[in-house]
Amino acid sequence: MPSATLLGQSVLSGIFIGSLYGLLGLGLSLSWGMLRQVNLAHFALAFLGGYVTFQLAAVAKLDPFVTLAVTAPAFFALGTALHWFLKRFSVTLLNTLLVTFGLTSIIEAGIQWFWTADFHRMESAYAAVRWKVGPLFVSLPDLLTFGFALTLSLGVWGVLRFTNLGKAIRATTDDAPIAAAFGVNEKLLGYLVSGLAASIAAVAGLCLALNHTLAPVQIYAWMGVVFAAVMMGGLGSPVGPLVAGIVIGVSEALTMAVTAPTWGPLVSFSLLIGIILFRPARFS
């Protein structure tokens, strides 16, 4: 049995990695729950965001946070373009999975062509900052990821819950034609949500670049875990993926600490299978 310090550190790192799951899951959950699109390309977009951040920080010597001023609007445009395409050809829910997988391959190939298949790690002033809290270590990039995830999840929740815009979006999710009949511009809202989801991918990309190594093959490594978080958290729910992501992250980290790191993936995927088998009704 590992020591209490190791377990404590595992729980902490589980919370931080889980908040990144939640951040990645937020965009996925919005487009799945509200637009009925399962956007696999969300992961590729997040990595593209990470690479662009890396490039701007390394070459143009920009502060990583300033790069958001470039990536977030650019990704908003990408998101709306994807939404336009999927609507234009009325792609069904299942087919959005396939189409966005195709898009993932294209983005992955583009990344590999421009940045090669090698690992990249962004150097920044933030990466080295870490504090000691009792026996445990906390790093700044981890805290930033957690902060972003929490702020965005709560922010989206607040907008949906308390504003007229949020009410219109929820009405459109429930029944788009009826909402449209009552004067909601559902088409515009679709573009807004898809653009927002893609912008969140840009933020997730920043967090990836700050705290993780970037490689094209890594795109696929995140899919299963994040899907598990989204499905556990509930489709279209803004806070659910974060909570579920942290639960998964912690249980993964503990599994790795107690057994071997290679057993880690078993947790999230077993959870995903369990949820689908025992609660299929919540996804219909």
Partner 1 sequence: MKITLAVCAVVLCAVPFAGLPAFYETFLYLLLSAIVLATSWNVLSGYSGYFSFGHGAFFGVGVYTTAALAGKLGWPFLWTLPLAALAATVLGVALGAVVFRVRALRGELFALLTLAVTFVLSTIALNTVDGGPGIQVMVDMPKVTPTASGFLYLLMLGSAALTLWTAYAMYHSRFGTGLFAIHDDEDVAEVMGVPTYRFKLAAFAISCALAGLAGGIHAIFVSYVTVAETFSIALAVNVVLMSALGGTRHWLGPAVGAVVITVLLYAFTSGDAAVAGRALSGLILIVVIVAMPAGILGHVLKRFRSRQVPARGAPARAEDAPRQVAKASGEALLVVRGVAKAFKGVQALDRVDLEVRRGEILGLVGPNGSGKSTLINVVSGHYAADRGSIRFEGDELVGKPAHRIARAGIARTYQIPRPFPQLTVLQNIALPPMFGQVVMDRVAAEREAWHWLEFTSLGDKAHQYPGELNLHQRKFLELARALAARPKLLFLDEVLSGLTPGEMDGALRLVRAIRDQGATIVFVEHVMRAVMELTDRVAVLTYGRAIAEGVPAEVMRHPDVVSAYLGAAHV
Give the residues lining the site for partner 1 (CB under 8 A): 38, 89, 91, 93-95, 97-99, 101-106, 108-110, 112-113, 220, 223-224, 227-228, 231, 260, 262-266, 269-270, 272-273, 276-277, 280-281, 283-284
Query: DSSP characters for 186-224?
Result: HHHHHHHHHHHHHHHHHHHHHHHHHHS-B-TTHHHHTHH
Smallest distance, partner 1 to C-beta of residue 252, A: 12
Smallest distance, partner 1 to C-beta of residue 24, A: 16
Smallest distance, partner 1 to C-beta of residue 107, A: 8
Nearer to partner 1, 55 or 105 (CB): 105
- Count CB atoms within 10 A of the CB of residue 37: 29
Nearer to partner 1, 121 or 282 (CB): 282
Give the number of residues written for the chain.
284
Query: DSSP characters for 93-127?
Result: HHHHHHHHHHHHHHHHHHHHHHH-SS-B----TTT
Q: Where are the alpha helices (DSSP H) in 163-185?
A: 164-174, 176-181
> Which CA distances in Å does 276 have to 22, 153, 247, 255, 280?
19, 24, 17, 22, 5
Nearest to 149 by CA among 66, 37, 27, 236: 27
Nearer to partner 1, 147 or 224 (CB): 224
Smallest distance, partner 1 to C-beta of residue 63, A: 31
Q: Cα angle at 102 between 97 and 106, to 5 degrees?
A: 140
Smallest distance, partner 1 to C-beta of residue 197, A: 17
Smallest distance, partner 1 to C-beta of residue 166, A: 26
